[in-house]
Amino acid sequence: MRLSLIIGLMLLICCSGDNYEDILSIRLREIEKSEMFDNSFVVYSETEGYGSNFPKWSPDVDYYEYDVVLSSAGKMYEAIKESKGKQPETSLNEWRLIPWRHPYFFLRDTAKKEDLRRLLRDKHPYIRTYAFGALAHKDSEDLFNIILNNLADTTRMTQITGDVGFDVCPADLMISYELEKLTKEQTEQLRKLIETKYNHLTYAKRLLANE
């Protein structure tokens, strides 16, 4: 935990004087060095509390020194002392902010759409998929064609959502991010393509089977 705090402080100091392009470059290097694709951050929602393996803060829980929680804004806080019902964002005597955020959040909240679309052509599967997730969050148009362009990619990557991990391909996750927005025609087209040409997309096949 102390190591995470030190790393976060170092990143904060290093990035404090950098411009947008420099910070984007740093975040992309962080993604490239990742050992796995943390899908928790992409599917994060305030109601479900995704975003890390740490629990979401609750007003009904007793917390003790060094406990780490995730706030509703997706930030991590470490307990300074015992408390209950003290919101991390406003209780500075009970909680300290761990100044680190997953690089995906920079893509989601700060990166320009034109840069995200450029990253969709990146060779690294994590970068492509995080960029797609950021665009899906922004409700960008024409993402269906991006999915089609990635169907043939057989790259396997380990994704983890909370405590659950399994191997997927980039298009598997891309489809999952857009699943609720697909038309019936698009869903049927993907289902037929996966059944006839892209059987490696086993996760997407299961998702589409339920539609």
pLDDT tens readout for residues 59-78 = 999 999 989 888 877 678 99
Contact between 119 and 157 under an 8 Å Cβ cutoff? The reply is no
SS3 177: helix
CA pair distance 145, 196, nearest whole angstrom: 18
Least confident of 5-19, 21-35, 168-182: 5-19
Of residues 105 and 204, which shows the higher confidence score?
Answer: 204
Domain boundaries, the chain: 18-51+102-211
Q: Quick one: pLDDT at residue 96? A: 93
Q: What is the mean predicted confidence (pLDDT) over 96-117?
A: 90
SS3 76: strand
Structure tokens at 37: 């694709």
Arithmetic mean of pLDDT over the chain:
87
**Above 90 in pLDDT, residue 95?**
yes
Q: Quick one: pLDDT at residue 144? A: 98
Quickly state the pLDDT bin for 16 (edges 50, 70, 90): very low
pTM here is 0.73
Q: Quick one: pLDDT at residue 6? A: 43
Per the listing, tokens 């991006």 go with 146
- The dihedral of CA 102, 104, 107, 110: what is its sign? negative
CA pair distance 4, 12, nearest whole angstrom: 12
Pairing of strands 164-168, 157-161: antiparallel
CA pair distance 159, 36, nearest whole angstrom: 6
Of residues 161 and 137, which shows the higher confidence score?
Answer: 137
**Above 90 in pLDDT, residue 159?**
yes
CA pair distance 83, 146, nearest whole angstrom: 47
The vertex-55 CA angle with 103 and 111, nearest 5°, equals 20
Q: Quick one: pLDDT at residue 210? A: 81
First CA to last CA across the chain, in angstroms?
42
**Above 80 in pLDDT, residue 10?**
no
**Above 60 in pLDDT, residue 132?**
yes
Q: Quick one: pLDDT at residue 161? A: 86
